[in-house]
A and B are shown apart, each in its own frame.
Chain A
Amino acid sequence: MQPESIELTLPAGREWHAVARLVLGGVADRLNLSFEDLDDLQLAVERLLVEAASQDTVMLRIDVVDHGVRVGVGPLVERTIADALQGPDAEPGELTLRRILQTVVDSFGVEEFPEGGIVVRLQKAVRGR
Chain B
Amino acid sequence: MAAREELVQRHLPLVRSLARRFAGRGESLEDLEQVGAIGLIKAIDRFEMSREVALTSYATPNIVGEIKRHFRDRGSAIRIPRNLKELSAKLGKAMERLTATQGRSPTIAELAAELDTIPEQVLEALEAGSARSTVSLSSGTNADDLDPMEIVGEEDEGYDRVEDRASLEPAIGTLPAREREILRMRFEQGMTQSQIAERVGVSQMHVSRLIRKSIDQLRDELL
Q: Which residues of A contact B (CB under 8 A)?
A: 14-15, 18, 21-22, 25-26, 28-29, 32-39, 43, 46-47, 50-51, 78, 80-81, 83-85, 90, 92-100, 103, 129
CA distance A35 to B192 in the complex (A): 12
Known: A29-B109, A34-B104, A96-B168. Is A21-B187 also a contact (CB below 8 A)? Answer: no
Inter-chain contact total with CB atoms closer than 8 Å: 102
* 29 A-B contact pairs sorted by A residue (CB < 8 Å): A18-B78, A18-B127, A18-B131, A22-B123, A22-B124, A22-B127, A28-B107, A29-B108, A33-B108, A34-B107, A35-B111, A35-B204, A36-B193, A36-B194, A36-B204, A39-B208, A43-B212, A47-B219, A51-B166, A80-B166, A84-B164, A93-B188, A95-B187, A95-B215, A96-B168, A97-B167, A100-B215, A103-B187, A129-B104
Known: A80-B165, A99-B187. Is A29-B119 also a contact (CB below 8 A)? Answer: yes
Residue of A nearest to B123 (CB): A25
Chain A CB within 10 Å, residue with most, of B119, B166, B172, B208: B166
Q: Chain A contact residues: over half helix, strand or loop, or mixed? A: helix
When the two chains form their complex, are residues B107 and A29 in contact, meaning their CB atoms are under 8 A apart? yes
Q: Cβ of B139 < 8 Å from any Cβ of A?
A: no
Inter-chain contacts of B104 with A (CB < 8 A): 34, 129
CA distance A21 to B208 in the complex (A): 14
Instruction: Choose among A21, A26, A90 the residue that contacts B120 (Cβ–Cβ < 8 A).
Output: A26
Q: Chain B contact residues: over half helix, strand or loop, or mixed? A: helix
Inter-chain contacts of A34 with B (CB < 8 A): 104-107
Inter-chain contacts of A29 with B (CB < 8 A): 107-109, 119, 123
Instruction: Choose among B73, B106, B109, B194 the residue that contacts A14 (Cβ–Cβ < 8 A).
Output: B73
Instruction: Choose among A46, A50, A93, A103 the residue that contacts B186 (Cβ–Cβ < 8 A).
Output: A103
Residue of A nearest to B172 (CB): A95
Instruction: Map CB proximity to A onto B173-214 as digits: 1 under 8 Å, 0 otherwise.
Output: 000000000011011101011100000000010001001100
When the two chains form their complex, are residues A98 and B166 in contact, meaning their CB atoms are under 8 A apart? yes
CA distance A36 to B126 in the complex (A): 12
When the two chains form their complex, are residues B215 and A21 in contact, meaning their CB atoms are under 8 A apart? no
When the two chains form their complex, are residues A95 and B165 in contact, meaning their CB atoms are under 8 A apart? no
Inter-chain contacts of A35 with B (CB < 8 A): 95, 105-108, 111, 204
Known: A95-B172, A97-B166. Is A15-B107 also a contact (CB below 8 A)? Answer: no
Q: Cβ of B169 < 8 Å from any Cβ of A?
A: yes
